[in-house]
Amino acid sequence: MCRRCQQWNETLPHVINHCGIHSHAWQLRHNAIVERVIKAISPKAKILSANQNVCGTTLRPDIVAQVGKKVFIVDVTCPFEGASTAFTAAWEDKCTKYEPLLPLYQAMGLTATVVPFIVGALGSWCPWNDKFLKQFKLFRLGLTSSDLEIFSD
């Protein structure tokens, strides 16, 4: 039994990712990553919204950024790395969730892409993030050590 919430088994995934007692800490971790991504891409991208409902829907992606006619719908998630499928599942969840926005941006003459930005709860880096960052000429290895500390908060 979890010593903090007294409700669930005290497994590592529970303590790191699910225990309600720690929800404020996850929010901070999540927000720190969002802030870091905004800071990293904003010299090259226009930030259209951050944590706001978009296109008249109830969908609230962490970041919507625009470069020319391209729109990136970025949502940060920190899945627990317990299973080898954790990142794939997180990726698919985010794509499914924000897919309804794609035709709405298309109707505005923009090409939208959903970008799940995945950093494992234990700090592991999802290599798919690099594909997104490279479009901004950002490379993970170019990050300073303090940037990497944020990604592993």
Residues interacting with Zn ion, by CB under 5 A?
2, 4-5, 19
Shortest approach of Zn ion to residue 14 CB, angstroms?
Answer: 6
- Closest separation in Å from C-beta 82 to Zn ion: 16
Question: Among residues 1 and 107, whose Cβ is nearest to Zn ion?
Answer: 1
CB of 139 to Zn ion, least distance (A): 38
CB of 28 to Zn ion, least distance (A): 18
Closest CA to 73 of 63, 59, 82: 63
Q: How many CB atoms lie within 10 A of CB 31?
A: 14
Euclidean distance between CA atoms 9 and 83, whole angstroms: 18
Distances (CA, A) of 17 to 12, 34, 50, 86, 105: 8, 18, 23, 13, 33
- Rank residues 3 and 137 by Cβ distance to Zn ion and give the closer one: 3
Q: How far apart (Å, rounded) are the C-alpha atoms in residues 71 and 52? A: 15
Residue 4 or 30: the one with the smaller Cβ distance to Zn ion is: 4
- Closest to Zn ion by CB, 8 or 125: 8
CB of 18 to Zn ion, least distance (A): 7
Contacts of 57 (CB under 8 A, 6+ apart): 100, 101, 104
Q: Quick one: which H or E segment has residue 97?
A: helix 86-98
User: What's the rounded Cα separation, in Å, for the pair 124 and 79?
Assistant: 10
Q: Give 22 or 70: the residue with its C-beta nearer to Zn ion.
A: 22
